[in-house]
Amino acid sequence: MIIMALNCGSSSVKYQLFDWERKEVVAKGMVERVIIGDSFIMHEVPGSETYRHEQDCPNHQAAIDLVIKTVTDPVHGVLKSVDEISAVGHRVVHGGEKFTCSVMIDKDVLDAVKDVQHLAPLHNPPNIEGIEAAQALMPNIPHVAIFDTAFHQTMPEHAYIYPLPYEWYEKYQVRRYGFHGTSHLYVSKRASVLLGKPPKDCNIITMHIGNGVSHCAIKNGVSVDTTMGLTPLEGAVMGTRCGDIDPAIPAFMMQKENLSAKEIDSILNKKSGVIGITGRFTDRRDVIENANNGDRRCRLSLEIEAYRLKKYIGAFMAAVGKLDAVVFTAGVGEMGALIREKAIEGLEHIGIILDRERNMGAMTRKRETLITTDDSPVKVLVIPTDEELVFTEDVVAILNGTYTDHMHFEYSFAKDDFVRK
């Protein structure tokens, strides 16, 4: 059984093929610059050189068609025919309040996703285009939606309702939703295995740190709070997003600079965060290198980001009670030893004792690592995320009729004998 995972962004299509019987990835890659011109595909097969091919993709259907042609190519592909694909799992960023777990896509589901696209105008439209394109190209197989927001639907009302006119929630669904749900799900389940306890007995703070950044407070195995809100703009400092700011600032700057709502939204989402502070960089490796070379604004960026991370650890520790572990994941979380160190140094008084040698050694995306001392009351773990495996297992379970929500469904990676390939 071959399962395809698709993640359609505004100008990209990321894909992975997973062989369920062999429990391994057989191919993965990405089509970049969809719609905007000079499109190309980067296709990876384990044990082979990465294949690059340039082909114009004016829309998502053309991009997915290129993916299918590439994975079935006689020289570079891994399948004889698209008919070998059993099902497709689609990442959908925003599911609103309707979806608490992954679902088979039918007309009603697709209509419901369209109904909430105003809540994620940058993300849901390309997700929808990807679903419709894939259904048109692969009409005879099941398509499943996996929602970024689903994992956080366990949040209590007092955590997700904003102190705004309540009518805004009733009329426009203005509330906290949270994102990166599949990542938080995966690493929290893995953390419970490493802690030797069932998820329902674990209190964990998961910190997904990449270009986008979100943290999750997990109490007794479920999400009770998260940093991102109605949109992915709220919360921590990110590569290009500001995160938490005084809500009066946008109106103030709109008046000062004569900016429209669309312009200020673009600045907060695309020109703020790390690139806003440094003026040049979003990649933390560049920030660290230039900070070490004396760039004051790069040093400032590191201090601001780490300080915000530290504050959220404290805030979420108050939310979950007795804390078992903090987990770092995603690109920066897995590779950014200096940022991890700055985020947790000085927290010995709340039970976090960093082992600097272990932390510096944990700069790989292939290994799960403890970076606190053996006697640290609270463990800090670096766990590489695997959102595509969550996609795959949800799809297979839905096909087999064994799927339930994550609190009752037993994922393979939540078992003691799981081995990451």
- Whether residues 327 and 206 share a domain: the answer is yes
If you average pLDDT over residues 346-364, what whole number do you get?
Answer: 94
Residue 187 lies in a domain: no
Query: 417 Cβ partners below 8 Å, 6+ apart?
Result: none
Residue 216 lies in a domain: yes
pLDDT of residue 110: 93
Residue 387 lies in a domain: no
pLDDT band at 116 (very low <50, low <70, confident <90, very high): confident
- Whether residues 30 and 125 share a domain: the answer is yes
- Whether residues 25 and 82 share a domain: the answer is yes
244 is catalytic: no
- For residues 110 and 127, the answer to whether their CB atoms sit within 8 Å is no
128/145 Cα distance (integer angstroms)? 10
- Total domains in the fold of the chain: 2
pLDDT digits (tens, 9 = 90+) for 274-318: 999 999 998 999 999 999 999 999 999 999 999 999 999 999 999
- Whether residues 122 and 219 share a domain: the answer is no
The rounded percent of the chain whose pLDDT value lies above 90 is 82
Residue 167 lies in a domain: no
Residue 417 lies in a domain: no
Query: 187 Cβ partners below 8 Å, 6+ apart?
Result: 206, 208, 327, 329, 383, 385
Of 117 and 233, the one with more pLDDT: 233
Measuring CA to CA, how many Å separate 249 from each of 197, 212, 231, 238? 45, 21, 17, 18
Q: Which domain holds residue 115?
A: 2-147
pLDDT of residue 121: 76
Token pair, residue 250, equals 């946008």
- For residues 161 and 169, the answer to whether their CB atoms sit within 8 Å is yes
- For residues 16 and 27, the answer to whether their CB atoms sit within 8 Å is yes
- Whether residues 21 and 109 share a domain: the answer is yes
Domain boundary among the residues 108, 128, 147 is at 147
Give Cα 100 distance to the centre of its chain.
17
Residue 220 lies in a domain: yes
224/202 Cα distance (integer angstroms)? 13
pLDDT of residue 397: 94
pLDDT band at 123 (very low <50, low <70, confident <90, very high): confident
- Whether residues 143 and 208 share a domain: the answer is no
If you average pLDDT over residues 146-150, what whole number do you get?
Answer: 93
pLDDT of residue 209: 96
Please tell me which residue in 73, 111, 148, 417 is annotated as part of the active site: 148
User: How far is it between the farthest Cα atoms of the chain?
Assistant: 60
Residue 190 lies in a domain: no
- Whether residues 14 and 100 share a domain: the answer is yes
**Where residue 87 sits, what CATH number does that domain have?**
3.30.420.40
- Whether residues 143 and 278 share a domain: the answer is no
- Whether residues 143 and 204 share a domain: the answer is no
Residue 169 lies in a domain: no
pLDDT digits (tens, 9 = 90+) for 1-35: 899 999 998 788 999 999 999 889 999 999 999 88
243/212 Cα distance (integer angstroms)? 10
Answer whether residue 409 shows pLDDT above 90: no
